[in-house]
């Protein structure tokens, strides 16, 4: 019997309208807040900390079933694609806690 799944989604964003780290951080706070509220995930900026227009984030969500974790990742990706910034490189993984 599986004890749960962790969905991991790592992606890069490009903010073409950002002209300072302050603007980028404003965008990132919004992105992180929206995703956390929509799919109850943990999310952090993991690269490009000192770059004005680029950020790499990784989120993780936990679900009882693999299909539910995949649905949460799909929801996050659909929301990101629909935004004004550019969604660049993306990587997904699903980990069973029994592995």
How far, in Å, CA of 6 to CA of 62, rounded?
Answer: 5
Name the pTM for this structure.
0.88
- Nearest Cα neighbor of 7 from 85, 70, 99, 55 is 70
- pLDDT (0 to 100) of residue 49: 85
Q: Give per-residue pLDDT as tens, 62-97.
A: 999 999 999 999 999 999 999 999 999 999 999 997
Q: Give per-residue pLDDT as tens, 2-52.
A: 589 999 999 999 999 899 999 999 999 999 999 999 999 999 999 988 899
How far, in Å, CA of 50 to CA of 71, rounded?
Answer: 32
How far, in Å, CA of 46 to CA of 20, rounded?
Answer: 18
Delineate the domains of the chain, giving CATH numbers in brackets: 5-96 (3.30.70.1120)
């Amino acid at each position: 019997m599986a004890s749960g799944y962790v969905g991991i989604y790592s992606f890069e964003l490009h903010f073409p309208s950002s002209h300072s780290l302050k603007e980028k951080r404003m965008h990132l706070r919004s992105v992180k807040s929206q995703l956390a509220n929509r799919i109850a995930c943990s999310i952090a900026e993991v690269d490009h900390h000192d770059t004005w227009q680029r950020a790499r984030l990784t989120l993780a969500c936990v679900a009882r079933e693999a299909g539910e974790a995949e649905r949460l990742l799909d929801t996050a990706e659909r929301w990101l694609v629909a935004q004004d910034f550019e969604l660049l490189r993306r990587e997904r993984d699903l980990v069973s806690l029994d592995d």
